[in-house]
Structure 1
Amino acid sequence: MVISDSSNAFVHYSKEANVLCISWKLNPGMEQFKNLYWQVLQFVKTSPKICYYTTDISRIGPLDAEQEAWLSREYYPQVSDIIGEDIYAAVIFSEGHFKALVSNYIASPLLPVHDFIHFNYFTDMEEAMDWLMYMQKGQDLAISAKS
């Protein structure tokens, strides 16, 4: 199901996989960035609990400090309030971006830590989806063990 398709990003929800995917096409301005994430949050509010996400930034490179800070300080707390349980987010980088991160790692300024979001990083969408499917199976097993 397509949620949004603009010049900056393509957002869709795969009901079969229970994964919401954001694929950035072009670097967004801050206003465009916020608008897209608010649109995603509106969709999540009206859907059954969506706890699995991909964000593909392979075409645009890293998010800037202002975008990261906004997500951490404003957006993620609202996501937590709406979903109320752990979420799993696979971030897809380009090979070059991934290598640059590993080679030039510098600790970023302290931002709030959100223990309910479990990030994992990939250079391949298929690997990211495999991880999300593995995490879903693990959650399903944990739920049935409690029953």
Structure 2
Amino acid sequence: MVISDSSYALVTYLKEADVLSISWKLKPDTDQFRNLYWQVLQFVKTNPKICYYSTDISRIGPFDAEQEIWLSREYYPQVSDIIGVDIYAAVIFSEGHFKALVNNYIASQLLPVHDFIHFNYFTDKAEAMDWLLYMQKGQDLAMVAKS
């Protein structure tokens, strides 16, 4: 199901896999970036308990510092309030971006830690989806064990 398709991003919800996916096409400006994430949050409000997400930034490279700060300080706390359980997020980036991260790693400024979000990083979309599906199976088994 397509939630949003603009010149800068495609947002889809794969109901059968229970994964909400953002694929960035072009580097968004601040307003586009925030509006898209607010739109995703509105969708999540009407479809609660979506706990599996993928964000493909392979075409645009990393978010800028202002975008990362906004996500961490404003957006993620609201996600936590709405969903109320742990979520799993696969971030997909290019091989070049990955190599740059490894070769140029410098600890960034301190931002709040959000323990409810479990990030994993990939350079391959299929591997990211496999991880999300694996995490779902693990959660399903944990729920059965609690019963």
In the superposition, the TM-score normalised over structure 2's length comes to 0.99
One-letter amino acid matched to 1:122: F
How far is the alpha carbon of 1:115 from its aligned partner? 0.2
CA distance in 2, matches of 1:28, 1:90: 20
Give structure 2 stretches of 5+ with no counterpart. none
Q: What's the secondary structure of 2:81's corresponding residue? A: helix
Report the counterpart of residue 58 of structure 2 in structure 1. 58
One-letter amino acid matched to 1:48: P
How far is the alpha carbon of 1:107 from its aligned partner? 0.5
Is residue 73 of structure 2 the alignment partner of residue 73 of structure 1?
yes
One-letter amino acid matched to 2:82: I
How far is the alpha carbon of 1:48 from its aligned partner? 3.3
Percentage identity across paired residues of the two chains: 84
Is residue 109 of structure 2 the alignment partner of residue 109 of structure 1?
yes
Report the counterpart of residue 40 of structure 1 in structure 2. 40
How far is the alpha carbon of 1:100 from its aligned partner? 0.4
One-letter amino acid matched to 2:24: W
How far is the alpha carbon of 1:56 from its aligned partner? 0.1
CA distance in 2, matches of 1:107, 1:22: 26
Report the counterpart of residue 146 of structure 1 in structure 2. 146
CA distance in 2, matches of 1:10, 1:33: 12
Q: Would you identify which runs of 4 or more consecutive aligned residues in structure 1 move more than 3 Å? A: none
Equivalent pairs counted in the alignment come to 147
Q: What's the secondary structure of 1:16's corresponding residue? A: coil
CA distance in 2, matches of 1:13, 1:49: 13
Report the counterpart of residue 121 of structure 2 in structure 1. 121
Report the counterpart of residue 22 of structure 2 in structure 1. 22
One-letter amino acid matched to 1:121: Y
CA distance in 1, matches of 2:12, 2:48: 15
How far is the alpha carbon of 1:112 from its aligned partner? 0.3
Q: What's the secondary structure of 2:43's corresponding residue? A: helix
Q: CA RMSD in A?
A: 0.4
Residue 53 of structure 2 contacts residue 90 of structure 2 at CA under 8 Å; is this kept in 1? yes
Q: Within 5 Å, which residues of 2 pair with 1:93-108? A: 93-108=93-108
Q: What's the secondary structure of 1:11's corresponding residue? A: strand
Report the counterpart of residue 49 of structure 1 in structure 2. 49
One-letter amino acid matched to 2:58: S
One-letter amino acid matched to 2:68: E
CA distance in 1, matches of 2:73, 2:48: 25
CA distance in 2, matches of 1:107, 1:26: 26
In the superposition, the TM-score normalised over structure 1's length comes to 0.99
Q: What's the secondary structure of 1:121's corresponding residue? A: strand
